[in-house]
Amino acid sequence: MYELEFDKDLIRRYDKAGPRYTSYPTAVQFHEDFGSEDYRRLAMRSNQQGCSLSLYFHLPFCNTVCFYCACSKVITANRRRAAPYLQRLHREIELQSELFDSSRPVEQLHWGGGTPTFISHTEMRELMDKTRQHFHLLEDDSGEYSIEIDPREADRETLALLRELGFNRISLGVQDFDPAVQKAVNRIQSEAQVTEVMEAVREYGFRSTSFDLIYGLPLQSVESFSRTLDKVLALQPERLSIFNYAHLPDLFKSQRQINAQDLPGPDDKLAIFKYSIDKLTEAGYVYIGMDHFARPDDELAIAQRNGTLHRNFQGYSTHAECDLVAMGTTAIGKVADSYSQNVKTMDEYFARIDQNQLPVFRGRELDGDDLLRREIINQLICQFTLSFPALELAFDISVAEYFATELAELKAMQEDGLLQLDERGITVLGAGQLLIRNICMVFDKYLRQQQTRRYSKVI
């Protein structure tokens, strides 16, 4: 793989809105003609294929609102509000488990949100016990069982319990250590809180920790973010995600609390991102792609070198073969050759579950063209290479004929130094790695058809 190269002029020229490709087709292409009966039919096909499972649970509750947040969440200080939701989530576990062969091992499990640790210790135990009753969880700690952590909601006792329940990875929301930035986005957490969590993580034997950071927040500068990175590197997380803040107050109500005049300008954002790349690379981290970095001995970096890296709704993954069963409001799953999403509101979710119905309200079954383009996008976004002979063999096509329009567009990117293109395939160059979304967008059939594009900027 070529060494990452930061070319400011190229980035400015290509910095337009585009999907993050946690799926292809993206969620914009899901439709409500796909419902629970389609999901049942595809679950049966999934059982015939017999692959392992990945489980995702959406726990939407947060005690306070972070102004930058674009996630589906319920803001409340009333912890008792979780109980009726969890009651329905337990029932969905039962309904979902009826569709899948009980012998299929769960290699991957994730609690996301929201703030999963919002719920009580008793509720955590009950949720994991219910999952274990109905799905084949691995008891030898070999699975990738992860949870998103807000350091303000996780003391040592909580982390000890999570490890006991089988979690072996955590994703920690840090965002920024600067007090002024934290105040501007209503995310006040001390360095001491994060350090205490990390000490407990090491003590209790969690295998991997990922930190989430955001650049482009109000009052950030290269100088302030450099101090955050110094503190982060001192804590030595195995993985880092540095996301670009997309200010879309018309879409996300909480973002209206942010003073737009305090946001760093485009040049300042680029400078922060470039500094972060240089700093992390110097510290020994490998650029995985799409804002993600990992230590060279981390499973993500190893999977990328081995050509087995995958991308799904939780980001980069080493479990490409798993079908993803997603539970809770808004949760998106992947079963056989389909995607599906649960209803978005609490009222809708309660109503469906109380009628013993699966809460799937939209989705999409993939056709042959979708599968072909998904494979191309996944290879490019994960490996930065694409072999035309392998693609032609797997899908019985001629790349030159099938993708004549796309190849013509790629030649312009080749002239700009983003990639190498020949009869053997595509190799993304160092300058193209930061613009991998742009390269993938060339193969997105639906993006060509859209009149409006509801996505964030690529950088």
Per residue in 247-282, pLDDT (tens digit) is 989 988 999 999 999 999 988 999 999 999 999 999
How much is the pLDDT for 317? 85
How much is the pLDDT for 319? 79
Can you tell me the distance from the alpha carbon of 33 to that of 31, in angstroms, rounded to the nearest whole number? Answer: 6
In terms of C-beta density within 10 A (0-12 exposed, 13-18 middle, 19 or more buried), how is residue 381 classed? buried
Cβ atoms of 262 and 219 within 8 Å: the answer is yes
Residues 87-110, mean pLDDT to the nearest whole number: 97
Q: Please give the distance of CA 302 from its chain centroid, rounded to a whole number.
A: 19
How much is the pLDDT for 412? 95
β pairing state of 239-244 and 286-289: unpaired
453 has pLDDT over 60: no
57-61, 311-315, 346-350: least confident range: 311-315
Closest CA to 430 of 382, 386, 376, 384: 384
81-90, 95-104, 284-293, 335-344: least confident range: 284-293
Query: Domain segments of the chain: what residues?
Result: 1-25+367-459, 29-327
For the domain bounded by 29-327, which CATH number is listed? 3.80.30.20
Cβ atoms of 88 and 347 within 8 Å: the answer is no
99-108, 171-180, 334-343, 441-450: least confident range: 441-450
Higher pLDDT, 421 or 71: 421
Higher pLDDT, 321 or 300: 300
Can you tell me the distance from the alpha carbon of 356 to that of 94, in angstroms, rounded to the nearest whole number? Answer: 10
Per-residue pLDDT of 397-439, as tens digits, reads 999 999 999 999 999 999 999 999 999 999 999 999 999 999 9
Q: Which two tokens stand for residue 61?
A: 């509750």
Cis peptide before 114 (omega within 30 of 0): yes
Within 8 A by CB and 6+ apart from 419, the residues are: 410, 413, 426, 427, 428, 429, 432, 439
Closest CA to 244 of 364, 68, 96: 68
Q: Which residue intervals of 173-265 are DSSP H helices? A: 179-185, 191-203, 222-235
How much is the pLDDT for 454? 59
Q: Which two tokens stand for residue 123?
A: 């509720």
Can you tell me the distance from the alpha carbon of 19 to that of 2, in angstroms, rounded to the nearest whole number? Answer: 24
Gyration radius of the chain over CA positions: 22
Confidence of residue 455 (pLDDT cuts 50, 70, 90): low
Q: Which two tokens stand for residue 83?
A: 């109980």
How much is the pLDDT for 52? 96
Query: Roughly how many angstroms between the first and final C-alpha of the chain, as a whole number?
Result: 21
- For the chain, give the percent of residues with pLDDT over 70: 98
How much is the pLDDT for 362? 98
How much is the pLDDT for 16? 82
Can you tell me the distance from the alpha carbon of 421 to that of 401, in angstroms, rounded to the nearest whole number? Answer: 15
How much is the pLDDT for 7? 87
Per-residue pLDDT of 316-327, as tens digits, reads 888 778 999 999
Can you tell me the distance from the alpha carbon of 20 to that of 440, in angstroms, rounded to the nearest whole number? Answer: 10
Residues 182-209, mean pLDDT to the nearest whole number: 95
Q: Does the predicted model carry a pTM greater than 0.75? A: yes
Average pLDDT, the chain: 94
452 has pLDDT over 60: no
Residues 312-318, mean pLDDT to the nearest whole number: 83
Can you tell me the distance from the alpha carbon of 411 to that of 159, in angstroms, rounded to the nearest whole number? Answer: 51
How much is the pLDDT for 8? 86
Can you tell me the distance from the alpha carbon of 390 to that of 62, in angstroms, rounded to the nearest whole number? Answer: 46
Closest CA to 316 of 335, 293, 341, 338: 293
- Evaluate the CA torsion angle 448, 450, 452, 455 in order and state its sign: negative
Higher pLDDT, 365 or 71: 365
200 has pLDDT over 80: yes
How much is the pLDDT for 350? 98
How much is the pLDDT for 229? 98
Domains 1-25+367-459 and 29-327 share a fold: no
How much is the pLDDT for 70? 86
Q: Which two tokens stand for residue 371?
A: 């599968």
254-260 LR contacts (CB < 8 Å, sep 24+): 254/65, 254/66, 254/67, 254/68, 254/69, 255/67, 255/68, 255/70, 257/65, 257/67, 257/186, 258/67, 258/68, 258/184, 258/185, 258/218, 259/184, 259/218
Residues 439-455, mean pLDDT to the nearest whole number: 81
How much is the pLDDT for 47? 96
Pick the CATH number of 1-25+367-459 from 3.40.50.10090, 1.10.10.920, 3.30.70.2740, 1.10.8.60: 1.10.10.920
